[in-house]
Amino acid sequence: MKFGTTLRRSVYPPWRDQYIDYDKLKKLLRESDDDDKPWTADDVTEFTEELANVQLEKVYNFKKETAKKLRERTTACEKKLEPLAIGIKAEESNGKGKIDGDSEDPSYADVAAEKPEVGAGDKERILREVRAELDEITKEVKELETYSRINYTAVIKATKKHDKLRGRSYRLRPFINARLTEKPIYTEDHSPLVYRLSAMYSFVRQSLEGKPKEALSFAESTTEGEGSTSYKFWVHKDNLLEVKTVILRRLPVLVYNPQTSQIAEGSQRDPTITSIYFDNPDFSLYTDKVTHVPNARSLRLRWYGQLAENPNIFFEKKEMVEGGASQEKRFTIKDKYIQPFIEGKYHMEKSIQKMEARGNQDQQEVAAFKKATDDIQRFIKERDLQPVLRANYTRTAFQIPGDNRVRVSLDTNLALIREDALDQDRPCRESDDWHRRDVDDRQMEYPFKGLRKGELYDFPHALLEIKVKGMKKYEWIEDLINSHLVKEAPRFSKFVQGVAKLFEDQVNTFPFWMSEVETDIKREPAKAFEEEQQRKQKAAEDDFAVGSLFGTRASPSYRASYMSPAQHSPLAAAQDNDKNTKTVEEADSDSEGAQAAVTDASPFARSTGLGSLFPSFSTSKYARRKKETQRKVQLPPGIRHPGVWIKDQGPVKVEAKVWLANQRTFIKWQHVSVLLASLSLGLYNAAGENNVIARTLAVVYTLVAVFSLAWGYGVYMWRNRLIRERSGKDFDSIVGPLVVCVGLVVALCLNFGFKYHAIVTEREEQQNATMPAVAAQATALLQEHIELLRT
Predicted local confidence at residue 88, as pLDDT: 55
Tell me, rounded to whole angstroms, the distance of Cα 54 from its chain centroid.
Answer: 28
pLDDT higher than threshold 90 for residue 456: yes
pLDDT over threshold 50, residue 433: yes
pLDDT single digits (tens) 51-61: 988 999 999 99
The pLDDT-based confidence of 204 (bands split at 50, 70, 90) is: confident
Work out whether the CA dihedral 272, 522, 398, 468 comes out positive or negative: negative
pLDDT greater at residue 623 or residue 657: 657
Q: Would you state the pLDDT for residue 628? A: 52
d(CA 151, CA 146): 9
How big, in percent rounded to 5, are the helix, strand and coil portions of the chain?
A: 55, 10, 35
**Residue 122: is its pLDDT beyond 50?**
yes
Helix (H, G, I), strand (E, B) or coil at 303: strand
Name the pLDDT band for 551 (thresholds 50, 70, 90): low
Which pLDDT does position 600 carry in this prediction?
A: 34
Spatial CA neighbour of 282 closest among 359, 383, 182, 185: 383
At 683-693, the pLDDT tens digits run 777 777 777 77
Q: Which of 374, 354, 574, 596 is nearest to 475 (CA)?
A: 596
Determine the average pLDDT of the residues in 449-455.
88
Q: Could you give the dihedral angle defined by the CA atoms of residues 686, 692, 694 and 700, in that order, rounded to the nearest 10 degrees? A: 120
For residue 234, the surrounding DSSP H or E stretch is strand 228-235
- The residue among 330, 337, 343 whose CA lies nearest residue 381 is 343
Chain-centre distance for alpha carbon 86: 35
- CA 5, 7, 12, 16 dihedral sign is negative
CA distance 48 to 663: 57
Q: Which residue has the higher pLDDT, 336 or 605?
A: 336
Ranked by mean pLDDT, the top range of 104-113, 150-159, 611-620 is 150-159
What separation, in Å, do the N-terminal and C-terminal C-alpha atoms of the chain show?
130
Q: Pick from 192, 193, 183: which is nearest to 69 by CA?
A: 193
**Average pLDDT value over all residues in the chain:** 76
pLDDT, position 43: 85
The percent of residues in the chain predicted with pLDDT above 90, rounded, is: 17
Three-state SS at 655: coil
Residue 679 confidence (pLDDT) above 90: no
The per-residue pLDDT for range 728-765, each reduced to its tens digit, is 666 777 777 888 888 788 878 877 877 787 788 888 87
pLDDT digits (tens, 9 = 90+) for 372-389: 999 999 999 999 999 999
782, amino acid identity: L
pLDDT at 648: 56
Per the DSSP assignment, residues forming a β-bridge with 326 are 320
In the predicted model, what is the mean pLDDT of residues 419-440?
90
Whole-prediction pTM: 0.57
**What is the predicted pLDDT for the residue at 34?**
56
261-282: pLDDT as tens digits: 444 444 456 789 999 999 999 9
Q: Name the helix (H) or strand (E) containing 262.
A: strand 262-263
Mean pLDDT of 306-316: 91
Pairwise CA distance, residues 496 & 290, whole Å: 7
Reported as a single tens digit per residue, the pLDDT across 123-161 is 888 888 888 888 888 888 888 888 888 888 888 888 888
| pLDDT tens sequence across 463-510 | 999 999 888 888 889 889 888 899 988 889 999 999 999 998 888 888
Region 160-184 average pLDDT: 83
Report the 10 Å Cβ neighbour count for 71: 15
pLDDT of residue 557: 40
CA distance 247 to 126: 51
